[in-house]
C-alpha cells in the first residue's frame, strides 16, 4: 500500500478521534453462515428453516380474517398446505475417505415427527473420474425442480404444479369406469374410488417433491454433459421405501451445458405405480407390471447478469386396468408446463414470477366427454429481500384457476421467511 507523507510530530500529535473500531463492526452478520463442520472436516451438518403463511381472498369455503386455500390448490394432502407450513430440515454428510460418503436429511413439517427424507451412501469407484453410485433413499433423477434445495432457488413461494398439485389418481384405488373418474375432477386432495382402498385419501402428483425414492442411482459428468440413471422402488408420483407391487422404476436424465449459464435437461422414467392390492381387486393381479406411470421431462435454464429464466415441461402417462364400461381411454395423460423468471433489482432484492399450467387428456363418460381431471393454471408474482446472506423474506401473490371442482378460483397472498446454513 502507498504510504502517505507526514508533517512531523506536531501534526502527529493531532491524532484523530476517528477510530477503526467505530468503523469496523464487530460482526457483519448476526446469524451463523456456514455449515457446522467437525471430525476434521469429515462431518458436515447444514440445515434450513422456513415458515410460510398465506391468506386467501376466497370466501367461497372459508371465512374469517385470513381464510386459507379453500380450493386445496397448494395442499400436499388433505391436511397440509405448502403455503401454511413450518419446515425444519437438517442435512448431514459424513465422509469415510475419498470414495465413500453417507448423506441424509431429516425433515419435520409443522413440528411433526422428523422423517428421513434422504438417506443414502455415495460411492465414487474411481477417485479420478466424476462417476458416482448412490444407494438408498436417493435424490430424484427425473426433472430439475425437486433437487433444488438451496432455499433461495425456489424463486417464488409455491411449488410448481407438476411437483405438488394432487390429481385424482391414486396408487391404491381405481375408478371402475370413466364416469367415476370424471366425478373426481378437481378433488385430488381427497379422492376416492370404488375399487381397491375405498377410503378417501390424497391423489398423486405428477412428480413428488416431498418424498424421495429408494434404489440405486449412477451418475457421471464432465464440463459439458452429465447423465444419471436409477432403478428405484416407487414411481415419480409415489416414491417409496418399501415395494408395494414387485415392480421397479427405471429413470434417466441427461443435462447439457452448451455454454456457461445454459442448461438443457431431458428426463424419462417408467415404472408400475399401482399397488398389488389394487391390481388384485381389479382382477388384474398377473399384469400388475403393465399399470405404469411413464414420464418425460424437458427443462431449460438460462441466466446472465441479473436475470434467470427457467422452463420445464413434464408429460405423464398412467395406464390402469380396464374394469367396466364406459371404459377409460388410456393412457391417462397429464401435461404440465411452467415458465419462471427472477430479476435482481438491487443487492438483496429481487422480483420473480412463475406461470404454470397443468392439463389432462380427454376421456368419454356416459353423458359427457371431458378432461379426466380439471385443468389448473397458476400465476405467482412476488419477490424476495435478503435480510442477511442466508436469511430471506419472500412475499408473493398467487392466482389459481381450475376448470372444475367446487372452488374454481383462489387468490392468495403469501409470506415466507427462510434461513439456511
Partner 1 sequence: MKMESRSHEAHDASRVEVVSFRGLRVFVLMVVLVSCAVMFFTTDTSGARNGLIRGRVALRRAAPPAERRPTVAELGAPAERDRSDRRQSVVYLEAAPRGAFEQSEPGHAVMDQHNETFVPHLLAVTTGTIVAFPNSDRIYHNVFSLSKAARFDLGRYAVGRSKSLRFDRPGIVRVFCDIHSHMNAFILVFSHPFFAITDVEGRYRIDNVPPGNYNVIAWNEGLFSEPRPAAVPDGGATELDFVLR
Helix residue spans in 151-267 (DSSP H): 161-164, 178-183
Sign of CA dihedral 89, 150, 351, 340: negative
Q: Which is nearer to partner 1, 217 or 249 (CB)?
A: 217
Q: Give me the least distance between CB of 94 and partner 1, in Å please.
A: 9
Q: Are strands 36-38 and 43-56 parallel, antiparallel or unpaired?
A: antiparallel
Q: Which is nearer to partner 1, 24 or 199 (CB)?
A: 24
Strand segments (E) across 68-192: 85-95, 100-109, 115-123, 131-138, 173-174
Which has the closest alpha carbon to 239: 207, 269, 217? 207
Cβ-proximal residues to 374 (8 Å cutoff; 6+ apart), any chain: 185, 186, 360, 402, 403, 404, 405
Site for partner 1 in 337-376 (CB under 8 A): 344, 346-348
Q: Are strands 362-364 and 369-371 parallel, antiparallel or unpaired?
A: antiparallel
Q: Does 113 bind partner 1 (CB under 8 A)?
A: no
Interface pick for partner 1 out of 55, 174, 228, 414 (rule CB under 8 A): 228
Tell me the per-residue interface mask from 142 to 181 with partner 1, x by CB under 8 A, - otherwise. ----xxxxx-x-----------------------------
Q: Which is nearer to partner 1, 152 or 339 (CB)?
A: 152
Interface pick for partner 1 out of 87, 124, 183, 409 (rule CB under 8 A): 124
Q: Give me the least distance between CB of 69 and partner 1, in Å please.
A: 27
Stretch binding partner 1 (CB under 8 A), from 35-43, 179-187, 267-275, 286-294 = 35-43
Which has the closest alpha carbon to 276: 171, 182, 190, 193? 171
Tell me the per-residue interface mask from 1 to 30 with partner 1, x by CB under 8 A, - otherwise. xxxxxxxxxxxxxxxxxxxxx-xxxxxxx-
Stretch binding partner 1 (CB under 8 A), from 33-41, 75-83, 162-170, 290-298 = 33-41
Q: Does 304 bind partner 1 (CB under 8 A)?
A: yes
Q: Could you tell me the CA-to-CA distances from 314 to 198, 238, 274 in Å, in that order?
A: 29, 16, 20
Site for partner 1 in 51-110 (CB under 8 A): 91-93, 101, 103-105
Which has the closest alpha carbon to 90: 108, 110, 72? 108
Amino acid at each position: 500500500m502507498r504510504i502517505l507523507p507526514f508533517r512531523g510530530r506536531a501534526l502527529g500529535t493531532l491524532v484523530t478521534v476517528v477510530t477503526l473500531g467505530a468503523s469496523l463492526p464487530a460482526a457483519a452478520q448476526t446469524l451463523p453462515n456456514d455449515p457446522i463442520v467437525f471430525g476434521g472436516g469429515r462431518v458436515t451438518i447444514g440445515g434450513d428453516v422456513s415458515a410460510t403463511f398465506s391468506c386467501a381472498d376466497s370466501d367461497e369455503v372459508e371465512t374469517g380474517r385470513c381464510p386459507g386455500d379453500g380450493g386445496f390448490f397448494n395442499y400436499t394432502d388433505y391436511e397440509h398446505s405448502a403455503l401454511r407450513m413450518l419446515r425444519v430440515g437438517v442435512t448431514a454428510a459424513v465422509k469415510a475417505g475419498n470414495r465413500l460418503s453417507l448423506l441424509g436429511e431429516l425433515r419435520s413439517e409443522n413440528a411433526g415427527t422428523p422423517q428421513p427424507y434422504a438417506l443414502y451412501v455415495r460411492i465414487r469407484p474411481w477417485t479420478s473420474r466424476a462417476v458416482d453410485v448412490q444407494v438408498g433413499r436417493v435424490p430424484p433423477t427425473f426433472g430439475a425442480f425437486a433437487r433444488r434445495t438451496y432455499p433461495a432457488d425456489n424463486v417464488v413461494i409455491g411449488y410448481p404444479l407438476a411437483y405438488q398439485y394432487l390429481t385424482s389418481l391414486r396408487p391404491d384405488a381405481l375408478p371402475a369406469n370413466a364416469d367415476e373418474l370424471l366425478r373426481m375432477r378437481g378433488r385430488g386432495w381427497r379422492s376416492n374410488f370404488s375399487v381397491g382402498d375405498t377410503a378417501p385419501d390424497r391423489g398423486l402428483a405428477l412428480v413428488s417433491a416431498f418424498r424421495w425414492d429408494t434404489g440405486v442411482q449412477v451418475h457421471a459428468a464432465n464440463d459439458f454433459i452429465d447423465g444419471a440413471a436409477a432403478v428405484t422402488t416407487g414411481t415419480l408420483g409415489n416414491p417409496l421405501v418399501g415395494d408395494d407391487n414387485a415392480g421397479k422404476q427405471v429413470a434417466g436424465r441427461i443435462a447439457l451445458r452448451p455454454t456457461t449459464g445454459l442448461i438443457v435437461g431431458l428426463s424419462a422414467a417408467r415404472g408400475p405405480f399401482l399397488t398389488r392390492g389394487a391390481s388384485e381387486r381389479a382382477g388384474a393381479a398377473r399384469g400388475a407390471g403393465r399399470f405404469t406411470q411413464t414420464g418425460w421431462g424437458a427443462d431449460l435454464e438460462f441466466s446472465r447478469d441479473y436475470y434467470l429464466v427457467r422452463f420445464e415441461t413434464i408429460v405423464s402417462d398412467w395406464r390402469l386396468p380396464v374394469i367396466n364400461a364406459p371404459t377409460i381411454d388410456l393412457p391417462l395423460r397429464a401435461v404440465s408446463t411452467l415458465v419462471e423468471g427472477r430479476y435482481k433489482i438491487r443487492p438483496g432484492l429481487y422480483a420473480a414470477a412463475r406461470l404454470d399450467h397443468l392439463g389432462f387428456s380427454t376421456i368419454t363418460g356416459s353423458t359427457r366427454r371431458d378432461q379426466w381431471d380439471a385443468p389448473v393454471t397458476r400465476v405467482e408474482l412476488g419477490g424476495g429481500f435478503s435480510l442477511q446472506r442466508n436469511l430471506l423474506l419472500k412475499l408473493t401473490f398467487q392466482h389459481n384457476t381450475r376448470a372444475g371442482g367446487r372452488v374454481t378460483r383462489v387468490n392468495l397472498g403469501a409470506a415466507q421467511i427462510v434461513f439456511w446454513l
